[in-house]
Amino acid sequence: MRDTPSIHSRLASIFPLGKSPVAPGTVATVVAGIPCFLLIGRFSPPAQAAFAAALFAVGSYVSHEAEKQLGRSDPQEVVIDELCGFLIAMLGHPTGFASILTGVLLFRLFDIWKPWPIRWVDRQVRGGVGIMLDDVLAGIAANILGLIILKLVAF
């Protein structure tokens, strides 16, 4: 029988994706985020938001449990936050190549750069909610800027 923290850790790391030796957050965004968006991007924005909210709740819980199991704050192998953040970055966006490329680039930019208030949340909010919340904010920033860019450039 498997112990519960092991299951949480695997979910939080999206199974093997969090173990990527190079850029696990980017790997999770591309390998899990894009296919997931292609599936839920066909639904209405409220349905997409509901899915992202449910993923936030699950991600907060499994990230908190993984953090306890691994004995580290915001472990690099926890990448469910990147999946949730990317889905928020893509909320309401078209499912075309230009939109997805813009979303990936902007989400990773905001997630890595962490401008205010993302950096503040990253440093001040702990546990599973903290792990998830800075990526949600990066996703919101990427979403807004992405929509502006796509409107201006009209891909």
Residue with tokens 């890595």, as numbered in its chain: 112
Cβ–Cβ under 8 Å, residues 137 and 102: no
* Residues 6 or more apart in contact with residue 87 via CB below 8 angstroms: 33, 36, 37, 40, 48, 51, 52, 55, 139
- pTM of the complete model: 0.94
42-90: pLDDT as tens digits: 999 999 999 999 999 999 999 999 999 988 999 999 999 999 999 999 9
103-154: pLDDT as tens digits: 999 999 999 999 999 999 999 999 999 999 999 999 999 999 999 999 998 7
Question: Number of folded domains in the chain?
Answer: 1
Range of the domain at 55: 4-153
